[in-house]
Structure 1
């Protein structure tokens, strides 16, 4: 099994469609999908994100960090939420992504989440992280 993150990327069109959808209907639609993931035993985490207008970007590209308040000009660069699934393969993650409730214009980016066992186990920082994960029940 491997963890994969499904990153939900919206467009102006898909965000507008979501806003038009009654909140209770959207909760029911997403709730049914989430229930499928839970019943299949593959859901690790899932969260939606607040409006980008409420966020900030910290740009570390210069000598000192620059903080910019939202909203941002390029909607296509934003993501609105994510799922982390523990599945057998990238193909299985793709199949789950295909089943996400459709909003026109939405794209789902899928990225594997490397596990801590893939890093050098004699590295001081990996040893510390492993201990933290064990203390917090994440291993």
Structure 2
């Protein structure tokens, strides 16, 4: 089972305030633990929304609408994420509870969400086969 630990943004992260060295060290130690346990798939921090673009689809079948950042509701945005693969929701929660306060000032908030496996979304064998082939190609292109 894959889970994403979504680190919510704060006014500081949206202002471009970088984490302290102490917090970077704590996150690196935490990430090392995830790697040693063999559960980490990916982890990254995100730039503020100042240079982001939101793409919405206000009308079915219509053209997409673009809105340039920055966006105003920091608590609704994402500052980073960690993607893990574990055996259960309980194990994912244990890892999430071990993550250091992601902003270091008592403002941190982490949302834990299970990731859909493509088998859950794609019922017919043809769609599954296409998805498996796309994933295989993506892995091959990374190696090249």
- Considering the TM-score relative to the shorter chain, is it more than 0.5? yes
Query: Which blocks of at least 5 consecutive residues in structure 2 are unaligned?
Result: none
Q: Give the corresponding residue for 1:51.
A: 48
* 1:47/1:83 contact within 8 Å kept: yes
Q: Give the corresponding residue for 2:112.
A: 110
* 1:6/1:110 contact within 8 Å kept: yes
Query: Which blocks of at least 5 consecutive residues in structure 1 are unaligned?
Result: none
Residue 57 of structure 1: SS of its match in structure 2?
Answer: strand
Q: Give the corresponding residue for 1:39.
A: 36
Q: CA separation in 2, counterparts of 1:94 and 1:53?
A: 31
Q: CA separation in 2, counterparts of 1:64 and 1:25?
A: 46
Shift of 1:121: 4.2
Shift of 1:21: 4.3
Residue 19 of structure 1: SS of its match in structure 2?
Answer: coil
Shift of 1:36: 0.7
* 1:58/1:68 contact within 8 Å kept: yes
26, 31, 49: which one pairs with 1:29? 26
* 1:10/1:105 contact within 8 Å kept: no
* 2:119/2:128 contact within 8 Å kept: no
- Is 1:15 the counterpart of 2:17? The answer is no
Pick closer, same or farther for the CA change 1:56–1:20 going to 2, 3 Å. closer
Pick closer, same or farther for the CA change 1:36–1:54 going to 2, 3 Å. same
TM-score between both structures, scaled by the size of structure 2: 0.80
Report the RMSD for the aligned CA atoms in angstroms.
2.2
Alignment of 1:85-104 (within 5 A): 85-102=84-101, 103=104, 104=106
